[in-house]
Structure 1
Amino acid sequence: MNAWLSLAVAILAEVIGTSALKASEGFSRLWPSVLVVAGYATAFYFLSLTLRRMPVGIAYAVWSGAGTVLIALIGAVAFRQKIDLAGGIGIALIVAGVLVLNLLSRGGAH
């Protein structure tokens, strides 16, 4: 499997697990709790596949950055959490940092 594809699966699984973590209400609801465990297990498995072909710094920066941005958006849409100006700027800086790391860094996965 392509490193970027396995990283995308890891990100998606982590976002599902984190979203379910909110819905599990402190692991007091069974099915969201099962989804948390399955999501994180899947995320770490696919992240481990990614690390076979990609530097850990790049993989983790993309994984955590994309996950953070997606969770912030899901929080705003699904859980009606507000993203204020500072939060929006922070999210933009995360995206910019991941782009700089991947497009301009010599230590990237190119």
Structure 2
Amino acid sequence: MSWIFLLLGIFFEILGTTSMKFSAGFSKLVPSIFLFLFYGLSLTFVTLSLKKIDVSIAYAVWSGLGTVLITAVSVYYFKEPMTFAKIFFILMIIGGVIGLNFSFGNEHEQGSEVPEMQRPNN
């Protein structure tokens, strides 16, 4: 379920970033409202995914896949140019996320528990 939460977080991040473009620097009310709504949902789902996924993995997948997908949206929908440099660096992002996932092995699949905050003795 944690990976589904992470994918939902990525989906809403893409909607939030697209709303950011449509808001025209907060000059349009409805897209500006959607921007905050979608980013709030994105962070909520990413936070829920952290119950079972290590934060280093979740954040790398969230930001990496989000970057790749928003680039695809910007090229397709906003007609931004797709250059060799964009393709090259997107492949580097994908490679980094894959490498980070493989670097942890199976021992971190379930995520680690967050240690309890210790209160100082007064």
Whether 1:63 and 2:58 are equivalent positions in the alignment is: no
Please give the residue correspondences for 1:38-49 in structure 2 after superposition, counting only pairs within 5 Å. Answer: 38-49=37-48
Q: Which moved more, 1:77-86 or 1:55-64?
A: 77-86
TM-score (norm 1): 0.92
Aligned equivalents of 1:70 and 1:29: distance in 2? Answer: 24
3-state secondary structure, aligned to 2:104: coil
Which letter maps to 2:4?
Answer: L
Q: Judging by fraction of residues, say which structure has more helix.
A: 1
3-state secondary structure, aligned to 1:52: coil
Partner residue of 1:6? 5
3-state secondary structure, aligned to 1:76: helix
Q: Could you list the per-position Cα deviations for residues 76-103 of structure 1 after superposition, in whole angstroms to 9, with x for gaps in the alignment? A: 011111121011000011111111222x
Q: Tell which structure's C-alpha radius of gyration is larger.
A: 2
Query: CA offset at residue 107 of structure 1?
Result: 5.8
Aligned equivalents of 2:92 and 2:58: distance in 1? Answer: 18
CA RMSD of aligned residues (A): 1.3
3-state secondary structure, aligned to 1:5: helix
Aligned equivalents of 2:13 and 2:33: distance in 1? Answer: 13
Q: Could you list the per-position Cα deviations for residues 50-108 of structure 1 after superposition, in whole angstroms to 9, with x for gaps in the alignment? A: 11111110000000000000111111011111121011000011111111222x21267
The sequence identity of aligned pairs, in percent, is: 39
Aligned equivalents of 1:72 and 1:107: distance in 2? Answer: 29
| Structure 2 unaligned blocks of 5 or more | 110-122
Which letter maps to 1:31?
Answer: V
Partner residue of 1:80? 79
Aligned equivalents of 1:107 and 1:41: distance in 2? Answer: 31
Which letter maps to 1:16?
Answer: L
Which letter maps to 1:67?
Answer: G
Whether 1:18 and 2:8 are equivalent positions in the alignment is: no
Which letter maps to 2:13?
Answer: E
Aligned equivalents of 1:83 and 1:107: distance in 2? Answer: 34
